Amino acid sequence: MSLATWLPVLILASSLLPGVVIFFLAEEHRGVRTALNLGGATVKLALVAVLITGVFDGQVFESRLTLLPGMELVLNADALSVLFVTLSSGLWFVTTLYAVGYLEGSQYRSRFFGFFSLCVTATVGIAMAGNMLTFLIFFELLTLTTYPLVIHRGTPEARHAGRVYLTYTLVGGAALLLGVAWLRALAGPLDFTETGVLAARGDLDPDALRAIFALILIGLGVKAALVPLHGWLPQAMVAPAPVSALLHAVAVVKAGSFGIVRVVYDVYGIEFAQELGLLQPLAVVAAVTIVYGSVRALYQDELKKRLAYSTVSQVSYIVLGTAIFGPVASVGGVVHLVHQGLMKITLFFGAGNLAETLGIHHVREMNGVGRRMPLTMAAFTVGALGMIGVPPLAGFVSKWYLGSGGLGADQAWVVSVLLASSLLNAGYFLPILYRAWFLEPEGSWPHEERGPGRWETGWMLLVPPVATALLVVAVGLLASAPFSPLEWSQLIIRREYGQ
C-alpha cells in the first residue's frame, strides 16, 4: 500500500497509540508520559506537513475499510479537512505543553492525558472523515472521550456539568443519527463531494431533504453551541483550563461548526442548499446566536464563563459565513475556523495562568494584574482585541470578509450583526483590559504561587499563550501569504463553488 493510502491512518494513529499507552502508565512516570504526548504531537505535525503539500498539489489521500456490505469507514484528505487537521494538530501540541505544566503535581494525570489524546484522535477523525458514516462514528467518539475530561476534577459541580454535557450531546447525537440514517436510506452512500453529493440528484423529495437537514442541524448544533442548544457550554467551564481550551478552540465546538460546513458544502452543496431554502434560516439562527452570546457575556463576572459565552457568539461566525450564499462570505466563515481557534485558545491559556498562579477566577479580581503578569496579559490582550476585530489581527480579517460577503450577496443586515457583535465584544473585553492595565490592585491576590521578582509563572504555562498570541498577529498581518489560513480558505471555497 502507498503513502497516499497510509498517511490518513498514520495521522490518526500518532495520537491514538500514545493515548492508549498512557492509560497504563503509573502516575510517577511523568517523563515517559510527557515524551509520549509531545512525541506524538510532533509526529502528527510532521505528517500533516506532508499532507498539506500533497493536497495543495492535487494528490489524493484516502483510506477505506469495509465495515459491512455497503458501509465503509473512509478517511480522506481534501482542502477543507487539511485546514481543520492542521488547526487541531498545531493546537494539540501547544495545549499538551500547557497541560503538562498546568497539571504538575495533580492526581490522575495518566487518565487525563490518555483521554486527552483520544479526544484529539476523534477530532482528527472528524476532520478526515470521507463520508457521513465515518463522520458520525468519530463525532460520537468525541462525546465519549471529552466527558471524562469535563468531570476530571471529580467535584459535585464537575459531575453535574458532565451530566448536563452528556444529556445535550446524547440527545443531539440521536438527532444526528436519525438524520444520517434517513438520508442514507433516501440517497444511498454519502461520500463527501466538493459541490455536494446530493446536488446532482434530481429524484429526491425536497421536503424530506429539508426535514433531514433540520435533524442534522440539531445534532451538529449542540456541539456548535447554537442557541438554544448551547446550555452545556458555560457549565462545562468547571473543567481544568487545558480542557476548556480544547473544548473551545480545537475539539467540541469546532467539530460542530466544521460539521455544519461539511453538510452544507459537501453533502447538500451550497447551490442546492440555497435552492431548498436552507441557508436563510441557518443564517438567522447564527445571527441570533452571535448577538445572544455577546449579550450574555456582558453580565458574567466569572472570567471563564465570560469567555464561554464569547465562544457561543464567535463560533457562529463560521455558521453565518457558511449560510451566506456567496464565495467572499464563505471564505470569512471558513477562515474563522482557524482564527477563532487561535484567539480563543490564547484567552483560555491566559485565564488558566491567572487562576493557577494568582487564584484569579473573576473579572473583579483582575485589577492591576497586567503589572504582575505582563506577558500573560499581553497575550490575553492580543486575543481580546482580535475578538473585537481590531486590525490587523486575525478577527478583523474574518469580519472583513463576512461583512464584504454579506454586502456582495445583497444581505446588508449581516454588517449590522457584525457591528453589533463587535460593539458587544468591546463591551465585555475592554473593561477586563482596563482593570488589568490601568487600575491598582485591591489588596493581595486570592493566592500567590510565585513571589515577585521571579518569572510570572512556569515556562510551560507562559510559552503557549505567547506563541498563540503571536500567531493571532501573524495570520492577520500575513493574511495573503502562501499557505496562510486565508489563502487556504480561498482555495477551499473555489473548489466548493466549482471554480
Tens digits of residue pLDDT in 270-302: 999 999 999 999 999 999 999 999 999 999 999
User: How many other CB atoms are there within 10 angstroms of residue 188's CB atom?
Assistant: 11
Q: Which has the closest alpha carbon to 51: 17, 15, 75, 16? A: 75
3-state SS, residue 71: strand
- Evaluate whether residue 458 is within a structural domain: yes
Q: Which has the closest alpha carbon to 126: 254, 17, 291? A: 254
- The per-residue pLDDT of the chain, averaged, comes to 88
- Evaluate whether residue 174 is within a structural domain: no
- Evaluate whether residue 41 is within a structural domain: no
Report the run of H or E that residue 28 belongs to, with start and end.
Answer: none
List b or e across 403-434, with b for residues whose CB sees 16 or more CB atoms inside 10 angstroms: bbbbeebebeebeebbeebbebbbebbeebbe
Asked if residue 235 lies in contact with residue 195, where contact means CB atoms within 8 angstroms, the answer is no
- Evaluate whether residue 403 is within a structural domain: yes
State the average pLDDT over residues 194-201. 79
- Evaluate whether residue 452 is within a structural domain: yes
DSSP label of 10: H
Q: Which has the closest alpha carbon to 266: 341, 216, 332? A: 216
User: How many other CB atoms are there within 10 angstroms of residue 189's CB atom?
Assistant: 13
DSSP label of 74: E
pLDDT at 298: 94
Measured between alpha carbons, how far is 497 from 499 in angstroms, rounded to an integer? 6
Higher pLDDT, 154 or 79: 79
Measured between alpha carbons, how far is 381 from 145 in angstroms, rounded to an integer? 32
User: How many other CB atoms are there within 10 angstroms of residue 281's CB atom?
Assistant: 14
Radius of gyration for the alpha carbons in the chain, expressed in angstroms and rounded: 21
Give the model's confidence band at 316: pLDDT under 50 very low, under 70 low, under 90 confident, else very high.
very high
Place of cell 459565513: 321
Residues 6+ apart with CB under 8 A from 425: 294, 310, 313, 387, 388, 389
Give the model's confidence band at 498: pLDDT under 50 very low, under 70 low, under 90 confident, else very high.
low
Measured torsion, CA atoms of residues 485, 491, 494, 497, in degrees rounded to the nearest 10: -70
Asked if residue 144 lies in contact with residue 153, where contact means CB atoms within 8 angstroms, the answer is no
Give the model's confidence band at 335: pLDDT under 50 very low, under 70 low, under 90 confident, else very high.
very high
Higher pLDDT, 496 or 140: 140
Domain extent for 375? 292-499
Domains contained in the chain, number: 1
pLDDT at 1: 57
Measured between alpha carbons, how far is 194 from 375 in angstroms, rounded to an integer? 43
Q: Which has the closest alpha carbon to 249: 349, 144, 393? A: 349
- Evaluate whether residue 189 is within a structural domain: no
3-state SS, residue 483: coil
pTM of the model: 0.93
User: DSSP readout, 381-412?
Assistant: HHHHHHHHT-TTSHHHHHHHHHHHHHHHTT-T
Lowest mean pLDDT among 165-174, 185-194, 466-475: 185-194
Measured between alpha carbons, how far is 197 from 492 in angstroms, rounded to an integer? 16
State the average pLDDT over residues 133-152. 90
- Evaluate whether residue 331 is within a structural domain: yes
- Please report, rounded to a whole number, the percentage of residues in the chain having pLDDT higher than 70: 97
pLDDT at 453: 44
Task: For residue range 439-474, list pLDDT tens digits in order.
Answer: 988 777 777 655 444 567 888 889 999 999 999 999
- Evaluate whether residue 16 is within a structural domain: no
List b or e across 169-187, with b for residues whose CB sees 16 or more CB atoms inside 10 angstroms: beebbebbbebbebbbebb
Measured between alpha carbons, how far is 359 from 352 in angstroms, rounded to an integer? 9
Handedness of CA 389, 392, 393, 398 (dihedral sign): positive
Half-sphere exposure (Cβ direction) of 489: Cα atoms closer than 13 Å: 30
What is the amino acid identity at position 267? V
- Please report, rounded to a whole number, the percentage of residues in the chain having pLDDT higher than 90: 50
Which ranges in 270-390 belong to alpha helices (H)?
270-275, 279-298, 303-323, 327-358, 369-372, 374-388
Asked if residue 335 lies in contact with residue 454, where contact means CB atoms within 8 angstroms, the answer is no
